[in-house]
Amino acid sequence: MDLIQKIDNLEKERSKLFDDLKSLSGEKLNLQIKGEWSINQHLYHTWLVETTTESYIKTKTKYPDFLVQMSPIAHLKTFILKLFLNLGFKFKAPKIVNTFPEKIDLNKLDQSWRESRKSFENLIVELNNKNLSNLAITRHPLLGRINMHLTLVFFDFHFKHHQNSIIKLKK
């Protein structure tokens, strides 16, 4: 599956989740139980991870001569991280993607995320045209430097990890 298909599939999953949540009240969406994140905070965090990643990639690709090949170990680290998340382990998110506005509006977040996904898709096309998408563009705190393929793999399992939390909160 190519990168554009991956981001399109991610967008379909995201859109489906938002459609499912639109029947909930703003109070339910923003409800925090025992200091845990609310549904909207899970969504906002996941969106923020993607938008900050895009900004980072745009900055790094301004200087393509400094980009390197991705280490094959990144695939192993990705597998291990997915395994740990599937087993229920939690990892502390970096502070930059761990802060939230006081109230989060689901419809505004839906619109912002839709726009950022389109922007990310345009970025993929640009990087493909410049033959940069196979280089280690993104720096993940646990995975190290990863290429666009693994970045989208991360987006996918990160989204699903938070989606599972959202489904539990919805009940």
pTM: 0.92
**Which residues, at least 6 apart from 135, have a Cβ–Cβ distance to it below 8 Å?**
64, 67, 68, 69, 70, 147
pLDDT in tens, 117-147: 999 999 999 999 999 999 999 999 889 999 9
Residue 97 has pLDDT above 80, yes or no: no
Contact between 132 and 67 under an 8 Å Cβ cutoff? The reply is yes
Long-range contact pairs involving 121-130 (C-beta distance under 8 Å, separation at least 24): 121/4, 121/7, 121/8, 123/54, 123/57, 123/58, 124/3, 124/4, 124/7, 124/148, 125/4, 127/57, 127/61, 128/3, 130/61, 130/64
Residue 113 has pLDDT above 90, yes or no: yes
